[in-house]
């Protein structure tokens, strides 16, 4: 069972705001799912390599002469859905 | 013509348009009329692009008048009304992912698949409801209300491509796009009684489609017939320089492979693990009956084993939320979308599961372990395909349940038991309507084939459709 502190820690890592009142509910849900994952311990994978993708493709390169055809967005297109923008930049909270 | 135009298949629509029995405008208007008449009760659509659609239909009609049959050689889906699951970016048209986070988002570009379908002449009727960010197996996780099953409005349409399944079943359009990460095209196909294709991972470009799990997302579609499904894949399949996971192998001519209707000697494997006690008896009956239809036509049925099936859900629900947590990190509420606090509960759950299992101290035990189990699941299928040509089984363990009936998240995850392993292996699968329960609820069965053997799925599926009686 995850502790409430662990749940809060995970939420922080994930940049999610959890209300204090929500923590017990998430604690219950997450713990239930994590408990279920224990079934994987039954499988012997000591000699097994992981699979991260099924295509077998590696290092797919774009053709040199097609470089110019890459889709790009204009500044105004890229800014068009911004919460706050000043015509040239996305405007965000001060970080420093 | 006694059939209403919106009830036609793609094939029938093209025949009718070629013969000038009706126009694309009439066909599109029939779909729009149907949407107006019934969608309040079904809630398949988030956005209806009626005006745009009729303009596109007018252009299609002009081309048909000018070039007659040749118009369809150039544009094989000319004038055919389509709907896009609302995670497909459509330039200038709201793309919400059925989430409050993106309820005001208007993409500045379109997904490759959207562009391909438009270039093939399809008419975009609207954006279809789904579980928010494609997280779900029922359609109930939409921030725009659940989509209802047209066969019983008290029941779910299946998810996550809920609007897509329902809209096709309710003849609100002729075909719809969807995505399938753990079963999200096949489950609504099964629940709504339509055909749903999950192509091989890498067969269809994911560019411009809001990502869920990048090693699992498969771009599919829902249609009224198997033949229609082949027509759509012909357009959507192919390499894309904007998606480096797409296969460089050229797609075959899918419709041509349908001309061979002989399945004598075809070996069909029925996995014993897919027919256990958790399978609803009515679903079992329908699926077995479907296999017998194929057996009567000369295929041989063989019991096979996929021994790691019982670990599939756990492996999937470690890997998929991990990839989800990474993909949903981009929703920062700065460049687009609203604040992360607007994520729904299911999105938050999955982000947190993923974040936890990827974090320091847990990565090896969970994520790495799951990816090793994934290798074993893949190996199960590889061994099976040495013995049989195609695998047949249920799509979902039960027919559509009632809205609000399944409240436990883990119980909902179990709906993916027969579909998710296919995604982990990157295989293609097709869900086909097999029959109904006593209450009239549709039951689908799925065919699974080796990588890039969608033509085999279509062949067997078509033969089944022609002979099911």
- Please confirm, yes or no, whether B255 is among the known catalytic residues: no
Question: What single DSSP character describes residue B446?
Answer: E
Write down the pLDDT at residue B258.
Answer: 87
B372–A45 C-beta distance less than 8 A: yes
Q: Which residues contact A43 (CB under 8 A, 6 or more apart)?
A: B308, B311, B372, B373, B376
- Please confirm, yes or no, whether B85 is among the known catalytic residues: yes
Distance CA B163, CA B177 (A): 10
**Is the sign of the CA dihedral B129, B133, B134, B136 positive or negative?**
negative
45-74 in chain A: CB under 8 A from chain B: 45, 48-55, 57, 60, 62-63, 66, 69, 71, 73
To the nearest whole percent, how much of chain B has pLDDT over 70?
Answer: 100
pLDDT at B311 over 70: yes
**Residues from chain A contacting residue B359 (CB–CB below 8 Å):** 10, 13
B372–A48 C-beta distance less than 8 A: yes
Write down the pLDDT at residue A65.
Answer: 63
Size of interface A-B (CB pairs under 8 A): 151
**Segment A29-72, tens digit of pLDDT:** 999 999 999 999 999 999 999 999 999 999 998 877 665 566 78
> How many CB atoms neighbour CB B468 within 10 A?
14
Quick one: which H or E segment has residue B301?
strand B300-304
Instruction: Look at residues B124, B129, B115 and name the one whose alpha carbon lies nearest to residue B50.
Output: B124
Quick one: which H or E segment has residue B348?
helix B345-358
Q: Which residues contact B156 (CB under 8 A, 6 or more apart)?
A: B138, B139, B140, B146, B147, B148, B149, B162, B191, B400, B401, B402, B403
What are the counts of helices (DSSP H) followed by strands (DSSP E) for chain A? 3, 0
Q: How far apart are the first and last CA of chain A?
A: 37
Q: Where are the alpha helices (DSSP H) in B259-331?
A: 281-296, 312-327
Distances (CA, A) of B85 to B163, B271, B458: 7, 31, 23
Q: B328-334 long-range CB contacts below 8 Å, 24 or more apart?
A: B328/B133, B329/A14, B329/A15, B331/B101, B331/B102, B332/A15, B333/A83, B333/B101, B334/A82, B334/A83, B334/A84, B334/A90, B334/A92
Output the pTM of the full model.
0.97
Of B334, B375, B425, Cβ closest to residue A48: B375
When pLDDT is cut at 50, 70 and 90, the band that residue B92 belongs to is very high
Distance CA B452, CA B458 (A): 12
pLDDT at B285 over 60: yes
**Segment B426-444, tens digit of pLDDT:** 999 999 999 999 999 999 9
A7–B352 C-beta distance less than 8 A: yes
Q: Exposed, middle or buried: residue B330 (CB in 10 Å: 0-12, 13-18, 19+)?
A: exposed
The token pair at B249 is 């192998």
Mean of pLDDT values over B307-319: 98
Assign A82 to helix, strand or coil: coil
When pLDDT is cut at 50, 70 and 90, the band that residue B64 belongs to is very high
pLDDT at B2 over 90: no
Taking a C-beta distance cutoff of 8 angstroms, is the pair B92, B55 a contact?
no
The token pair at B315 is 């492996």
Q: Is A23 on the interface with B (CB under 8 A)?
A: no
Mean of pLDDT values over B165-189: 98
Q: Is A78 on the interface with B (CB under 8 A)?
A: yes
Write down the pLDDT at residue A67.
Answer: 55
Taking a C-beta distance cutoff of 8 angstroms, is the pair B405, B411 a contact?
no
**Segment B320-374, tens digit of pLDDT:** 999 999 999 999 999 999 999 999 999 999 999 999 999 999 999 999 999 999 9
Write down the pLDDT at residue B148.
Answer: 98
B156 half-sphere exposure, CB direction, 13 A CA radius: 31
**Bridge partners, B447 (sequence order):** B392, B430
Taking a C-beta distance cutoff of 8 angstroms, is the pair B423, B305 a contact?
no
Of B105, B242, B355, Cβ closest to residue A13: B355
Catalytic residue among B85, B198, B224, B453: B85
Catalytic residue among B160, B205, B229, B431: B160
pLDDT at B455 over 90: yes
């Amino acid at each position: 069972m995850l502790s409430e502190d662990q749940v809060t820690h995970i939420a922080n890592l994930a940049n999610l705001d959890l209300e204090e009142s929500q923590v017990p509910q998430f604690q219950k849900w997450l713990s239930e799912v994590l408990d279920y994952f224990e079934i994987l311990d039954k499988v012997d994978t000591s000699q097994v390599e992981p699979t991260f993708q099924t295509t077998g493709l590696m290092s797919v390169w774009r053709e040199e002469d097609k470089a110019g055809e890459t889709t790009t967005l204009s500044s105004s297109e890229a800014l068009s859905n911004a919460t706050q923008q000043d015509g040239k930049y996305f405007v965000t909270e001060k970080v420093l | 013509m006694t059939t209403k135009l919106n009830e036609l298949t793609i094939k029938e629509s093209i025949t009718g348009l070629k013969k000038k029995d009706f126009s694309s405008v009439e066909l599109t208007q029939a779909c729009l009329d149907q949407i107006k008449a019934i969608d309040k009760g079904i809630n398949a659509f988030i956005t209806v692009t009626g005006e745009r659609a009729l303009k596109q239909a007018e252009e299609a009609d002009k081309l048909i008048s000018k070039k007659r049959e040749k118009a369809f050689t150039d544009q094989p889906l000319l004038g055919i009304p389509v709907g896009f699951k609302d995670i497909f970016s459509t330039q200038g048209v709201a793309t919400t992912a059925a989430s409050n986070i993106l309820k005001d988002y208007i993409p500045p570009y379109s997904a490759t698949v959207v562009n391909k379908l438009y270039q093939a002449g399809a008419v975009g009727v609207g954006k279809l409801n789904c579980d928010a960010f494609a997280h779900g197996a029922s359609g109930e996780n939409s921030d725009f209300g659940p989509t209802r099953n047209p066969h019983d409005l008290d029941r779910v349409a299946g998810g996550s491509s809920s609007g897509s399944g329902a809209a096709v079943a309710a003849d609100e359009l002729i075909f719809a796009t969807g995505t399938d990460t753990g079963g999200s095209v096949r489950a609504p196909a099964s629940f709504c009684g339509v055909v749903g294709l999950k192509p091989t991972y890498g067969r269809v470009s994911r560019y411009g489609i809001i990502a869920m799990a990048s090693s699992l997302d498969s771009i599919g579609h829902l249609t009224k017939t198997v033949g229609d499904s082949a027509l759509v894949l012909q357009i959507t399949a192919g390499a894309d320089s904007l998606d480096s996971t797409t296969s460089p192998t050229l797609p075959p001519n899918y419709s041509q492979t349908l001309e061979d209707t002989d399945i004598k000697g075809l070996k069909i494997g029925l996995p014993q693990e897919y027919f256990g006690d958790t399978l609803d008896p009515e679903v079992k009956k329908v699926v077995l009956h479907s296999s017998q239809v194929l057996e009567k036509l000369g295929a041989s049925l063989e019991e096979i084993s996929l021994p790691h099936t019982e670990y599939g859900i756990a492996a999937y629900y470690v890997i998929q939320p991990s990839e989800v947590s990474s993909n949903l990190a981009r929703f920062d509420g700065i460049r687009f979308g609203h604040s992360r606090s607007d994520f729904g509960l299911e999105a938050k759950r999955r982000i947190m599961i993923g974040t936890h299992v990827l974090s320091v101290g847990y990565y090896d035990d969970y994520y790495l372990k799951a990816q090793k189990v994934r290798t074993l699941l893949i190996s199960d299928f590889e061994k099976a395909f040495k013995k049989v040509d195609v695998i047949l089984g249920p799509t979902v363990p039960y027919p559509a349940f009632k809205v609000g009936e399944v409240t436990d998240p883990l119980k909902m995850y179990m709906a993916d038991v027969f579909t998710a392993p296919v995604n982990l292996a990157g295989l293609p699968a097709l869900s086909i309507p097999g029959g109904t329960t006593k209450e009239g609820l549709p039951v689908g069965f799925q065919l699974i084939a080796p990588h890039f053997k969608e033509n085999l799925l279509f062949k067997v599926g078509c033969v089944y459709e022609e002979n099911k009686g």
